[in-house]
Structure 1
Amino acid sequence: MTGINAIMNTELISVATDASVTDAVARMVEHNCGAVLVRDGGALFGIFSERDLLTRVVAAKRDPDSTKVSEVATREVTTVDADAELEDCFELIKRGGFRHLPIVDNAGLPIGMVSARDFYRALVVRMKAFVDSSAMAAQVAGLASILGDEAWPR
């Protein structure tokens, strides 16, 4: 099995709790990512995603310039340690219906993040590694059992 640290992005894209939603979105655009960590000092306060922007700001008709990201960020964030297994983390985001998973150190401080996009990239790399058709068939069967029939969150 492979650890999540093999695919985690160690460039922490984050904003402070007192940043505006506009500032958070600017960071997301600047780094072409769908979420930013919201940090209180070094500690993880929450996560702000495109979904939060749509449901808690746009749909709620809040002013992104005057709304603090801490007011609309997701506070109950699922995190994993850097030694977590890739497959377990994939199951976690699939069952949880979210697309971003912060990785934390032993003190609970963020050290990286993975997104659904990172899992897709890892999947492509694994599939390319299998040139033997019998190995490919076994891998596809294994992936089918992991993915299941449930619809992925959009």
Structure 2
Amino acid sequence: MRPLQQLIEAKRSMVSVGPEDTVFTALTLLAQFDIGALPVLEGNRLVGIFSERDYARKIVLKGKASKETPVREIMSEKVTCVTLKETVEECMALMTDKHIRHLPVLGADNQMLGILSIGDLVKETISHQKFTIDQLVHYIQN
């Protein structure tokens, strides 16, 4: 399978919000880019993650207003992250173990490089398995 660096590079540029942005702004970005979570950055430093789940549980169910509430009030601050050293398999195992669907990837000096979703990792795994199957079929037929 491809290294995480290649998966991050293959994705479009990273979209993020700041902790003082409104939840409404974050929701607009989620809809615009058809994604389920946004890293929350102060400069280039990851300070949290905002997801659709955060919105549902911390805004809708508590009757707060998304246009008035800053992201910092509802973001998840304890974020599980990986570096470029991890493999796709290790990332999938971590996501399964921690029950998370989005995994920020950090580089040198904890610089935010991108975010991988469980969907990204499943697509990569399926692509790798298809390649292996195609190679085996070719070997058997020749």
Q: Per the shorter chain, which TM-score range?
A: 0.7 to 0.9
Consecutive unaligned residues in structure 1, runs of 5 or more: 136-154
1:6 aligns with 2:6: yes
Which of 58, 61, 64 is the equivalent residue of 1:59?
61
Question: CA shift at 1:124, angstroms?
Answer: 2.1
Query: Which residue of the partner structure matches residue 85 of structure 1?
Result: 87
Q: Which residue number corresponds to residue 110 of structure 1?
A: 112
Candidates 10, 23, 32, aligned match of 2:34: 32
The residue identity in structure 2 corresponding to 1:21 is V
- Aligned length in residues: 134
Equivalent position amino acid for 1:32 in 2: D
Match of 2:75 in 1: 73
SS of aligned partner of 2:21: coil
SS state at 1:64 partner: coil
Residues 74-125 of structure 1, C-alpha deviation per residue, up to 9 Å, x if partnerless? Answer: 0000111112111111100010001000001121121111001101211221
Q: Distance in 2 between matches of 1:97 and 1:85?
A: 18
CA distance in 2, matches of 1:91, 1:2: 16
Q: Structure 1: how far apart are the matches of 2:60 and 2:86?
A: 35
CA pair 103-10 structure 1, distance change in 2 beyond 3 A: farther
Tell me which residue corresponds to 1:21. 23
Give the deviation of 1:6 after TM superposition.
3.0
Q: How does 1:105-144 map to 2 (within 5 A)?
A: 105-129=107-131, 130-131=133-134, 132=136
Amino acid at match of 2:104: P
- Which amino acid in structure 1 is aligned with residue 50 of structure 2? F
Q: Which amino acid aligns with 2:87?
A: E
> Aligned-pair RMSD on alpha carbons?
1.6
Aligned-partner residue type, residue 107 of structure 2: D
Shift of 1:68: 0.3
Cα deviation 1:7-54 (Å, max 9, x = unaligned): 233621101111000000111111110001111122111000011111
Partner of 1:151: none
Normalising to structure 2: TM-score of the pair?
A: 0.87
**Given the two structures, how large is their TM-score scaled by the length of structure 1?**
0.81
In structure 2, what is the Cα distance between the partners aligned to 1:88 and 1:37?
A: 21
